[in-house]
Amino acid sequence: MHKDQAAALRVLASKAAPRRSINQHCRVIVVASGKGGVGKTNIAVNLALAWAKRGLRVGILDADMGLANVDLILGLNPRCNLSHVMSGERTLQEVLLTGPGGLKIIAGGSGVAELADIEQHQLDRFIDSLAELDNTLDLLLIDTGAGISRTVLSFALASHEVLVVATPDPISLTDAYGLIKVLAMRNHDAVLQVIVNMCEDDRSGIEVFNRLHSVSLRFLSRELSFAGYVPRDPMVQRAVRELRPFYLVYPRCKAALAIDRVADQLLSVNRDEADNGLKPKAADGLGGITGLFRKMLHLIRQ
């Protein structure tokens, strides 16, 4: 996108979405799946770009401790990650990378796992820097790794909102259900959003969601929300090979258009007059990034 076009969009969006005052929490969405390779990272990065285009200040925490995919898709090369923050070598602000659309990227590295063992004073410092992030971002997406590992789970269990990525593949569906089951049992207040990726068309996307939803209602008495679908699109793979996000390099491709719809749908979820869809539903008052990390730390240190 052209620089001045991006600036114009930001001004337009800022008229529609007035900046929130200091101390309002950032909306946090954890992106998770049961099965790996279903498109979590691609969805997180391109969704973040769609929100940035709407004038929102968006961050992505790459909490996948395997391959650090977020920076790869964005063509970035982070030298530092959360583990440098844990050790006190860097501040959180110093490890923040700025990507296209002004996205703020935090590479998790091994830092996420280290959270369980750091000293109280390090933890206090870390929570303080997160509070700063709460005030400077409107939305934070946390991209997790595959499976139901302890870390993935602790993020998803601590979050008020989880975006579950599933594909029409039966294994992906079974694994997505497995994740939803754990969340239904252990994170009662969470809003569970489902996005169907790599489907053939809208009809098959809705069908896949309906299947998951009916099983969830029947066996778990748990409502799911449909965030939308992203069709299988060769442009996604092409963009991945080019180390560029498809939303930027192929903005008219089917997947990019679908991402726009998902971005709007997710913004409309919590929308009321006052918050423009940004305020998280924090039933216990522990909202935002700080709240999520406090809860998560409580879970992993139990």
Ligand X SMILES: Nc1ncnc2c1ncn2[C@@H]1O[C@H](COP(=O)(O)OP(=O)(O)OP(=O)(O)O)[C@@H](O)[C@H]1O
The binder of 161, among ligand X, Mg ion, none, by C-beta within 5 to 8 A per type, is none
DSSP 96-135: -EE-GGG-EEEE-TTHHHHGGG--HHHHHHHHHHHHHHHH
Is residue 103 within the footprint of ligand X (CB under 6 A)? no
Residue 46 is a binding residue for ligand X (CB under 6 A):
no
Binding mask 177-196 for ligand X (x = CB under 6 A): --------------------
> Which residue lies nearest ligand X, judged by its C-beta?
36
- Residue 151 as a binder of Mg ion (CB under 5 A): the answer is no
**Interactions with Mg ion, residue window 52-71 (CB under 5 A):** 69
Instruction: Count residues binding Mg ion (CB under 5 A).
Output: 3
Among residues 69 and 172, whose Cβ is nearest to Mg ion? 69
Window 110-169: residues binding ligand X (CB under 6 A) = 145-146
H helix runs in the chain, sequence order: 3-16, 40-53, 69-74, 82-86, 92-95, 111-114, 120-136, 150-158, 170-186, 202-220, 234-241, 246-249, 254-269, 288-300
User: Could you say which residues in the range 268-287 bind Mg ion, by CB under 5 A?
Assistant: none
User: In the window 100-139, what residues touch Mg ion (CB under 5 A)?
Assistant: none
60 binds, among Mg ion, ligand X, none (CB under 5 to 8 A by kind): none
By DSSP bridging, strand 104-107 and strand 97-98 are antiparallel
Nearer to ligand X, 64 or 138 (CB): 64
* Residue 167 touches Mg ion, criterion: CB under 5 A: no
Binding of ligand X by 36 (CB under 6 A): yes
| Candidates 6-14, 19-27, 32-40, 103-111; binding stretch for ligand X (CB under 6 A) | 32-40
Please name which of 30, 28, 32, 281 lies closest in space to residue 177, comparing C-alpha atoms. 32
Q: Does 197 bind Mg ion (CB under 5 A)?
A: no
> Of residues 10, 26, 28, 42, which one binds ligand X by CB under 6 A?
42
Cα separation, 158 vs 295, whole angstroms: 5
Of 162, 198, 253, 266, the one binding ligand X by CB under 6 A = 198
Kindly state the smallest distance separating residue 111's Cβ from ligand X, in Å.
Answer: 17
Burial of residue 260 (CB within 10 Å: 0-12, 13-18, 19+) is middle
- Identify residues 219-278 at the interface with ligand X (CB under 6 A): 230, 232-233, 236-237, 240, 255
Helix H or strand E encompassing 228: strand 225-231
Rounded least distance, CB 239 to ligand X, Å: 9
DSSP string computed for 151-177 = HHHHHHHH-SEEEEEE-SSHHHHHHHH
Residue 36 binding target from ligand X, Mg ion, none, CB below 5 to 8 Å by type: ligand X
Cβ atoms of residues 130 and 94 within 8 Å? no
Residues 250/235, Cβ–Cβ less than 8 Å? yes
Residue 7 CB partners (closer than 8 Å, separation 6+): none
Please state whether beta strands 139-143 and 58-62 pair in parallel, antiparallel, or not at all (unpaired). Answer: parallel
Q: How far is the CB of 257 from Mg ion (least distance, A)?
A: 22
The β-bridge partners of 139 are 27, 58
- Contact residues for ligand X, defined by CB under 6 A: 33, 36-42, 64, 69, 145-146, 197-198, 230, 232-233, 236-237, 240, 255
- Contact residues for Mg ion, defined by CB under 5 A: 40-41, 69
